[in-house]
Amino acid sequence: MLRCLALLTALFFAVSGCTSSAVSRPKQEVTAESYGNTTKGMVVVSVMWGRTWKCAQFENGQLQSFGFDRLPSQTTADDAMADVVMEDSPPYYAGGPAKNYVLALDPGEYGLATFAIKVASSATEVKTANVGRARLFEGGKPIGGTFTVKAGELVYIGHFGLDCYKEPTIWRYYPVGREGFDHYKQVIKEQYPFLHVDQMRFRLFKTSKLGRDYELPQ
């Protein structure tokens, strides 16, 4: 079971003409061959790509993509590609279980740099909202949230999907309690049988705007 425990702090954004997302796996996705590279950190993330119906004032909303910059970010441009890009949603993907990813990343701190959300007021009125560094960074520092990973570490940072409280926005969720996390580990093990999931750390993407702090009970 997933649960968010905070009220939404809205990020307001302009809505532009409809665009479509390419279906792709993150280029950093770990493989059995790359898993033994101890210079990298392994980041576990799940994404709920499906449509959310009755999303704020819209008929439905759908997370299309999001990305992270390794900090300090090397650019302030909204159109520059993020260092880590999550983009695996067909434009009209209706739903289904969360998709799970394990990424092999350079150690360090990463900040949310971009996200895109498709919104529909009707079957014919469909638009895409794009949010970039101009809104997600202030003074060169990320305000949407960050995560960290160390070399040789396997860390879970959260489930990402939509929140529709006032405005559609990206939101970080998580499995509740140790039983929920243990079940999630087994789901990841089935998809990535070479992983040592017993070593997976629960350390959520840290944010005060797009989720709330949560720690597993002792």
Q: Which amino acid would we find at residue 143? A: I
Phi first, then psi, for residue 24 (nearest 5°) are -160, 155
Asked if the structure places residue 128 within a domain, the reply is yes
For 15-70, write each residue's pLDDT tens digit.
333 333 333 556 788 888 888 778 999 999 999 998 899 998 999 999 999 999 99
Tally of domains within the chain: 1
Asked if residue 6 is part of any domain, the answer here is no
Q: What is the predicted pLDDT for the residue at 25? A: 58
As a whole number of Å, the CA-based R_g of the chain is: 17
| Residue 68 to residue 44: CA distance in whole angstroms | 14
214 assigned to some structural domain: no
C-alpha separations of 203 from 61, 139, 213 in Å: 28, 26, 10
Give a yes or no: residue 1 inside a domain: no
Residue 132: band (very low, low, confident or very high) from pLDDT cuts 50, 70, 90:
very high
Strand 52-55, strand 58-70: pairing: antiparallel
**Can you give the residue range of the structural domain that contains 195?**
15-19+27-202
Task: For residue range 137-160, list pLDDT tens digits in order.
Answer: 999 999 999 999 999 999 999 999
Using omega within 30 degrees of 0 as the cis cutoff, is the peptide bond preceding 72 cis?
A: yes
Q: What percent of the chain has pLDDT over 70?
A: 84
CB 198 within 8 A of CB 91: no
In a domain, residue 43? The reply is: yes
Q: What is the pLDDT of residues 4-29, one digit of tens each?
A: 333 233 333 333 333 333 335 567 88
For residue range 178-216, list pLDDT tens digits in order.
Answer: 999 999 999 999 999 999 999 999 999 999 999 989 999
**pTM of model > 0.75:** yes
* 5 is a domain residue: no
